[in-house]
Amino acid sequence: MSFRNRLRFEHQLAALVGLLCLALVAVTVGGAVWLERRSTVRLAEARLARLAAGMAESLDTTLRERFREIQVVAGLEPLRERWTGDPAMIRGVLSAMRTTAPDYAWLGFVTPDGRVRVGTEGLLEDLAMNGRTWFETGLAKPNVSDVHEAVLLGRRLVRTEPEPLRLVDLAAPVRDAAGRVIGVLGGHVSWDWAIRARRRLLDEGLAGTDLWVLDRRGRVILGPHLGTAPFGPARLGTMVEGGRGTFAAVIDGETRLAGFASAATGERSGIAGGDPGLGWIVVATRPEVQAFAPMQRSIQALLGLGAVAALTGIALAWGLGRRAAAPLRRMTEAADRFGRDADATTLPRLDGAREFVALSAALRSLLRRIGSVERELSDATQRSTRVAAYYRRQIEDLRQVAGTDVLTGLLNRRGFIKPAEDAFVQARGGRCGVAVLVVDIDHFKRVNDQHGHDAGDAVIRHVGDLLAEAVRGTDTVARFGGEEFVVLLVGLGVTEAAQISERLCLAVRGAGIAHGGRVIPVTVSIGVAVLSGQDADIQAAIARADAALYEAKARGRDRVSVAAASAAVGRAA
């Protein structure tokens, strides 16, 4: 009877310890797999969200710049009396716009009766535009239309893309000095710009990634399966309301992770006179299987280690159970002392039954192994802390590089945002005045054509150096792209800003740039605007300075033009 009871107790003890070990291993491995999976999903979704946001930003930037150009040129005062004059002169202006921005497939001036008076390269001249939405709306206000297939231009333009020519229409009314509408300036932007932007982002992304652009009704306007609606009304409504986010969905029979971002067109983007918005949504997707592929080996290793640990635990439990034929009272007392004595670090060596002595030795060895594992864990924690600190420094360095223009070493458009917003807050608090200079190198294309792009780069660097040297340490100089610079002057009014601008023009004009054994004469035109109480943000002041720059160029270049404080010039944010 006693032998049977002892055997039953040993089996019960072995089963209890074995189950405990299995549960611990299962929870540990399951938790590690769950954390790894969640981390992988979040990382993949974050990458897809950034990719979608990058595509949305590319769409916004191009459409914003083209729409601003149409409005600015349509409202240029020097051209008001010339729209109805010599067609060759107007054709030259439109050709220059198209040369500066090759995204335009066509630019034209349409008279109020609907006839195309002037078109780039003579295209569509004398054709009637009556009934076309962009023209009819353009008689009243600036407008942007959604993507559509080219009807007239599709048969007249040479294509470099395999897809049919599609266009985004832009238009703005042209008024004479008395404010009467004398026509509409229209521009057809080729959708090829969006195709190229999508291709570039996909080439830089991970394998299996795809990019779609949806219109406001959820139909694909860029990407595979054009014209289809891959998402239902509920999903589409969530994306429209959220603006940006991530989700997972079954698409074409497979589960895909997705990130989305809304393209902020129309009024939401700050386009002056725009409609409520085109409502484009960019969706970046990647198969869930491919996203999880890198973690498969980690999961397999965890499962393997868990199985080994579980088997080891079961074996130890069985061995311990077989050796548990010891007086329960002495074992309980020894264990009780270990639990109550804070200074106890191991079990004592006890005499008595051979089984208990063996159990005592095994437990002492187990505790020593736990101490060793704790030390290894502490070392691993210290190493991970150092690695995390290293990557934080790397990320900080990358952020700094992202805000710097590579060619000039000045801030770029991204890096300019923070000091500009800080200056706007100071000006709103009444602590100082803020002036904005938009500087553009005159005839820069001529420098590239006559002297080469190396000379053009040298001119940009030299002008950037002159601007940086001429301003104070509290001021900010940034290169916005191409040959355009923006200077932020803090604590100055319109008079001081205009004087500084004149000195900058004089400094650039008198410098001359030596390149390839020749001296290249360079001049700049500068638009000046001072932040006023009517400006909603710093971008409004930049827009007014930009409009003043156009006026300076229209008046002959190599000069300064100051924007009126109350002028309201539209500039998309």
Report which of 185, 175, 46 is spatially closest to residue 109, judged by C-alpha positions: 185
For helices 538-554 and 413-428, angle between their N-to-C axes, nearest 10 degrees: 110
Instruction: For Cα atoms 18, 23, 29, give the angle at the middle one, nearest 5 degrees.
Output: 125
Cα 196 to Cα 432: distance, rounded to the nearest angstrom? 44
Question: How many C-alpha atoms does 360 have within 13 Å on its Cβ side?
Answer: 20
- DSSP assigned state of 475: S
- Give the containing element (helix H, strand E) for 49: helix 2-74
Q: Which amino acid is at 501?
A: S
60 Cβ contact partners less than 8 Å away, ≥ 6 residues apart: 263, 264, 265, 269, 572
- How many beta carbons lie within 10 A of that of residue 413, not counting itself? 16
Task: Report residue 259 as tokens.
Answer: 């990130």
- How many beta carbons lie within 10 A of that of residue 144, not counting itself? 26
Cα 121 to Cα 504: distance, rounded to the nearest angstrom? 38
Question: How many C-alpha atoms does 196 have within 13 Å on its Cβ side?
Answer: 9
Cα 266 to Cα 63: distance, rounded to the nearest angstrom? 10
197 Cβ contact partners less than 8 Å away, ≥ 6 residues apart: 55, 58, 59, 62
Q: Are 271 and 265 in contact (CB under 8 A)?
A: yes
Q: Which of 45, 69, 288, 483 is catalytic?
A: 483
DSSP string covering 307-328, please? Answer: HHHHHHHHHHHHHHHHT--S-H
Active site residue 483: yes
For CA atoms 157, 111, 103, 558, the dihedral sign is: positive
Cα dist from 501 to 101, 504, 545, whole Å? 27, 5, 12
Cα 175 to Cα 75: distance, rounded to the nearest angstrom? 7
- Give the containing element (helix H, strand E) for 303: helix 288-322
Enzyme catalytic residues: 483
